[in-house]
Amino acid sequence: MEIMNTISKENYLKTIYQIKKPKSKKVSTAHLAKRLEVSNAATSDMAKKLFDLGLVKYQPYRGVELTAKGEKLALNVIRRHRLWELFLIKTLNLSWSEVHTEAERLEHQASDFLIDRIDEYLDYPDFDPHGDPIPNKNGELPVQPDSVKLTAAEVGKFYFIHRVKNDDIKLLDYLTELGLKLNMQLQVLSRLEFDNSVRVKINNKEHSFSEKIAEKLSLVSADGEKR
């Protein structure tokens, strides 16, 4: 078993990394299948191949887990994805959702050389346009600031928008439409007990977000900073 690096394998590794929980790092093949929109049979099959390549631990009926080698490759795909996103936003000024869609395909192309040049052009950024951390070329993640989800933010306090989960393109488009951008300041006005929706003030405009949306927004405290 030698060599690898196909688009399909890269997507499996990346997705395993994205799905895994911090504690139990095991990912069921069925869960993987759902995310990748392929049959369960296909993921079982691939699990065996990735195992033979030393990229995952795998025991039938017990799910997969990335090995150190597999995780490094996964982080490299993620790095490529996020650098492409930031690069396209900086140069072509695309929107959150547009950039994500393109990066989904470009992440598998581009040599390491090109990615490093993009990294250099962007001055070695720590975060991508959604606030997601960008692994460096050694696969190390930048230190992340303390953040809370909007669902858990304190009423009355001021925050900066630090990260927007980009697993749903519709949401990204909606937030873009509202004029929301990363690093904007935000004040939590109130939280409705009935449905856990949150009222916030951004740029002197008030917005109400459902719990489902609030869950996707991560904030860092703006205490002692410019208001």
Partner DNA sequence: TATTTAACTTAAGCTTGCTTAAGTTTTCAA
Partner DNA sequence: TTGAAAACTTAAGCAAGCTTAAGTTAAATA
Indicate whether 15 belongs to the interface with DNA (CB under 7 A): no
Reduce the DSSP state of residue 222 to 3 states and report it.
coil
In sequence order, what E strands does the chain have? 56-58, 64-66, 148-149, 158-164, 185-191, 198-202, 205-209, 217-221
Q: What are phi and psi of 69, to 5 degrees?
A: -65, -45
Cα–Cα dist 49/121, whole Å: 37
Q: Which does 130 bind (CB under 5 to 8 A by kind): a copy of itself, Mn ion, DNA, none?
A: Mn ion
Cα–Cα dist 46/30, whole Å: 12
CB of 106 to a copy of itself, least distance (A): 5
Indicate the residue type of 110.
A
Query: What mask of x and - would describe binding to DNA in positions 124 to 153, judged by CB under 7 A?
Result: ------------------------------
CB of 95 to Mn ion, least distance (A): 12
CB of 47 to DNA, least distance (A): 6
Taking CB under 5 A as the binding criterion, the range among 36-44, 60-68, 102-110, 193-201 that sits at the site for Mn ion is 102-110
Burial (Cβ within 10 Å: 0-12, 13-18, ≥19) of residue 61 = exposed
Indicate whether 11 belongs to the interface with Mn ion (CB under 5 A): yes
Indicate whether 130 belongs to the interface with Mn ion (CB under 5 A): yes
Q: Which residues bind a copy of itself (CB under 8 A)?
A: 87-88, 91-92, 94, 98, 101-102, 105-106, 108-111, 113-114, 117-118, 121
